[in-house]
A and B are shown apart, each in its own frame.
Chain A
């Protein structure tokens, strides 16, 4: 199918979906749909645009997907709960299946007045907060995010009140599951972290069945003055899964964001991390790691806007690519006029294990202010011979030495995870992933079947 055909199909789907969308949603979300769809359809699925220069989205969209417009009767397999368990880490777990939130037996209000609920519930109970934040951070910054806004019905909402340190991390487990259908989803999350509040959010994405999936999700995050958020996302899906995952963050004065984006497995993955450093002295640290082989594609697009003076951004993305995997990295940094004393550092390092694997890495610095410290660096290399010999000279086999070095390369990212149990778990997963072993603790039975 051509892109035009897919765009017109999406228009038809949107027209037909208007009514069920309305019935199964909230007016606060509905308000944005028409305009968002217009924004999307004006240019349609991006092809060779500035932002999606290398991303080939056609194969991801060019399938028959089922879109669930009403809440499904969700039966979460208790195994799924077990599989995402991080030993030694006590979290508040929330599930979504195909973008719909599953019920939990916890009160709406948690210690400290923290609220975690579904987005429609939040719209009902806290309309003021949604008026302020919903689609405020994403807006019309990205056409695929607008496609999400047009269809979004559900997702996870969290509000951490001013001055509250959240007692436990929130763990969001996003599952994709089809019976006989391929499934498309438009999950929409919103996180509001109050003044001086701190929180940790861990989002895991998995596939539970053999079908093809397309998830086009958006997470908006508002960090108030002095707020602090650790945001971890771990993706471990199968090769038939396509995932477009956009995070939009607005940071007020002296707030801090540490985001860690780990892509272990997936067919096509596009991560958009769009951060606005809106308040003076705010700081964001974006770290990412991707391990790709076979024909996988991973595309990390980051954009950090320094809109206020004295902000700091720090970016490090590292990838290991084998077979004919292709990775893209874009590091856009915009320094607005008046954003004096900006510090922006960026690096992307890649390890290529085969001749066919490819990396496109693009730094984009747009600097309109004085007194700015910016740096960027990218490397694409092979395993170091000297180091290989050193390890082998100690009796370590060539295969094991390669694994150790890949693991070491990835560990620079994993090592930054603050929660020790999570760090250990991810280290473990990375090790298994590199060994090509079935990651038993995650539900990826399909991997070996699909990729062998």
Chain B
């Protein structure tokens, strides 16, 4: 099997506090994983550590991405290697237009893989096509990145960026939160179009509703900085009914 991501005994601290306490997780190409777990479990911390946020300090463990040592790469190189994080709280960047930002990003990706910059005409064509996928208003392109976007627009913009950058591994951190039903379908559609035998998706969510559309192969439960349970897609349905208490009682070894 083609292993895309291997996380081994990952520990991370922030401001002297240990948040990740030994994460183990494997993702193969072609798979969709869901990560669930109570508030404060460390889901966003895990995704930030994977994406290269520097204020989280890895104290132990290792992460391999496409067979390369992920933790040795700066954030930008992780992205250029094909890792994409859809932020739980996308950041507003005043004065930087969405279209310029995307052009810069994609050309940096291309430079990294030895390709020339996108020809401007083709770039706009591609952008328009991807906008249609995601059903994003073209007016947003010329506005400052995420500035004044509604909650749902910000999330759609994350999926739009994902569609443009075509990552190998996409991590969606609560991209479904705050979306109306139509937007949810749009986001699910975007994700499903990305999926292929060579890529994988990790969906972090609190709800079953996104998983109805983006069906996971594996569901993990994160609690207090550890993966405490891993099972098939039925687990998400069970969690929705029963909550987390019954899992919190179990020790990590029991699943």
- A: which residues have CB within 8 A of B? 384-387, 389-398, 400, 404-405, 407-412, 415
Q: Is the CB of A407 within 8 A of B95?
A: yes
Query: Among A394, A400, A410, which residue has its beta carbon within 8 angstroms of that of B79?
Result: A394
Q: Is the CB of B52 within 8 A of A390?
A: no
The secondary-structure label for the interface of chain A is helix
A390 to B95, CA, bound (A): 15
Q: Known contacts A390-B87, A390-B90, A408-B144; is A396 also within 8 Å of B105 by CB?
A: yes
Query: Among A386, A397, A409, which residue has its beta carbon within 8 angstroms of that of B76?
Result: A397
A391 to B51, CA, bound (A): 11
Closest CB-CB distance, B77 to chain A, in whole Å? 8
Per-residue interface assignment for chain B, residues 89 to 131, with 1 indicating a CB less than 8 Å from any chain A CB and 0 otherwise = 0111111100011001110110010000000000000000000
Q: Known contacts A386-B91, A410-B95; is A393 also within 8 Å of B104 by CB?
A: no
Closest CB-CB distance, B169 to chain A, in whole Å? 13
Asked if B223 is an interface residue, CB under 8 A from chain A, the answer is no
Q: Which of chain B's residues has its CB closest to A389's CB?
A: B53
* Cβ contacts under 8 Å, B80 to chain A: 395
Q: Known contacts A405-B96, A415-B95; is A395 also within 8 Å of B101 by CB?
A: no
A392 to B54, CA, bound (A): 11
* Cβ contacts under 8 Å, B74 to chain A: 392, 398
Asked if B55 is an interface residue, CB under 8 A from chain A, the answer is yes
* Cβ contacts under 8 Å, A415 to chain B: 95
A397 to B108, CA, bound (A): 8
Q: Is the CB of B94 within 8 A of A393?
A: no
Q: Is the CB of A396 within 8 A of B104?
A: yes
Q: Known contacts A392-B76, A408-B93, A415-B95; is A400 also within 8 Å of B108 by CB?
A: yes
- B: which residues have CB within 8 A of A? 48, 51-55, 74-76, 78-80, 85, 87, 90-96, 100-101, 104-106, 108-109, 112, 144, 161, 165
* Cβ contacts under 8 Å, B48 to chain A: 389
A447 to B75, CA, bound (A): 34
Q: Is the CB of B93 within 8 A of A387?
A: yes
Query: Among A395, A407, A411, which residue has its beta carbon within 8 angstroms of that of B105?
Result: A395
Query: Among B85, B93, B95, B112, which residue has its beta carbon within 8 angstroms of that of A391?
Result: B93
Identify 23 residue pairs between A and B in the complex whose beta-carbon atoms are under 8 Å apart, listed by A's number: A387-B92, A390-B87, A390-B91, A391-B93, A391-B105, A392-B75, A392-B76, A393-B53, A393-B78, A394-B79, A394-B105, A394-B161, A395-B76, A395-B79, A395-B80, A395-B108, A395-B112, A396-B101, A396-B104, A398-B74, A405-B96, A408-B96, A411-B94
Closest CB-CB distance, A386 to chain B, in whole Å? 5
Which of A390, A395, A404 has its CB near the most chain B CB atoms (within 10 A)? A395
Query: Among B95, B101, B165, which residue has its beta carbon within 8 angstroms of that of A409?
Result: B95
* Cβ contacts under 8 Å, B165 to chain A: 394-395
Given contacts A395-B79, A396-B104, 15 further A-B contacts (CB under 8 A): A387-B93, A389-B51, A389-B54, A389-B75, A390-B93, A392-B52, A393-B52, A397-B108, A398-B76, A400-B104, A404-B100, A405-B96, A407-B96, A408-B94, A408-B144
Q: Is the CB of B93 within 8 A of A405?
A: yes
A49 to B100, CA, bound (A): 46
Q: Which of chain B's residues has its CB closest to A406's CB?
A: B95
* Cβ contacts under 8 Å, A392 to chain B: 52, 74-76, 79
Q: Which of chain B's residues has its CB closest to A414's CB?
A: B95
Closest CB-CB distance, B76 to chain A, in whole Å? 5
Q: Which of chain A's residues has its CB closest to B54's CB?
A: A389
Q: Is the CB of B108 within 8 A of A393?
A: no
Closest CB-CB distance, B171 to chain A, in whole Å? 10
Closest 3 CB pairs of A and B: A408-B95, A411-B95, A395-B79
Closest CB-CB distance, B87 to chain A, in whole Å? 7
Q: Is the CB of A409 within 8 A of B53?
A: no
Closest CB-CB distance, A352 to chain B, in whole Å? 17
